[in-house]
């Protein structure tokens, strides 16, 4: 598996991801990659972001 590029979009995530809430924002952590969900209409896209602090 290649590492995720910051700013890229994923339309689905592997089942091994966990939800982590940082400063009131829910992120999905999948191994070393972090994703922030973004809703476009009724579709969820996951934006690759830096690890939140």
Is 22 among the domain residues? yes
DSSP state of 11: S
The vertex-34 CA angle with 31 and 17, nearest 5°, equals 50
Is 16 among the domain residues? yes
The predicted pLDDT at position 1 comes to 45
Which regions of the chain are under pLDDT 50? 1
Number of domains forming the structure of the chain: 1
State the average pLDDT for the chain.
92
Give backbone dihedrals phi and psi of 15, rounded to 5 degrees, phi first: -65, -15
Give backbone dihedrals phi and psi of 49, rounded to 5 degrees, phi first: -130, 165
The predicted pLDDT at position 53 comes to 85
Is 42 among the domain residues? yes
Residue 13 belongs to domain spanning = 9-49
Is 4 among the domain residues? no
The predicted pLDDT at position 4 comes to 81
The predicted pLDDT at position 21 comes to 97
Is 24 among the domain residues? yes
């Amino acid at each position: 598996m290649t590492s995720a590029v910051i700013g890229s979009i994923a339309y689905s995530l592997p089942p091994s991801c966990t939800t982590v809430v940082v400063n009131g924002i829910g992120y999905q952590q999948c191994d070393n990659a972090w994703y922030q969900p973004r809703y476009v209409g009724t579709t969820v896209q996951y934006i690759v972001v830096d690890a939140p602090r």
